[in-house]
């Protein structure tokens, strides 16, 4: 059987332990959030680069098509 003093000490230890776990979880969450934000930024950058490359290739293809059509019509 626990005395009131023993119970209070045990509960205080539980609260301190829970706070320690909570603080560790907050640090981990912040670290993961930063990694996820970096992934999102990298993916958006890659999307922009891919779209730019596609637009450039489409433009080049149109120019070549027009030149070939001009040659064919001569």
Q: Is residue 74 predicted with pLDDT exceeding 90?
A: no
Task: Identify each DSSP E strand in 2-59 by its residue range.
Answer: none
**Per-residue pLDDT tens digits for 18-60:** 999 999 999 999 999 999 999 999 999 999 999 999 999 999 9
pLDDT at 14: 98
Residues 1-25 as b or e (16 or more Cβ within 10 Å = b) = eeeeeeeeeeeeeeeeeeeeeeeee
Residue found under tokens 């489409």: 58
Residue found under tokens 């005395």: 3
Please state whether the predicted TM-score (pTM) of the whole model is above 0.85: no
Counts of helices then strands in the chain (DSSP H, E): 1, 0
CB 31 within 8 A of CB 23: no
């Amino acid at each position: 059987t626990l005395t009131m003093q023993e119970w209070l000490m045990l509960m205080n230890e539980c609260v301190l332990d829970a706070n320690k776990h909570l603080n560790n979880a907050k640090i981990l969450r912040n670290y993961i959030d930063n990694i996820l934000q970096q992934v999102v930024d990298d993916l958006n950058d890659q999307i922009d680069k891919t779209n730019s490359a596609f637009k450039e290739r489409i433009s080049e293809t149109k120019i070549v098509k027009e030149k070939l059509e001009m040659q064919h019509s001569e």
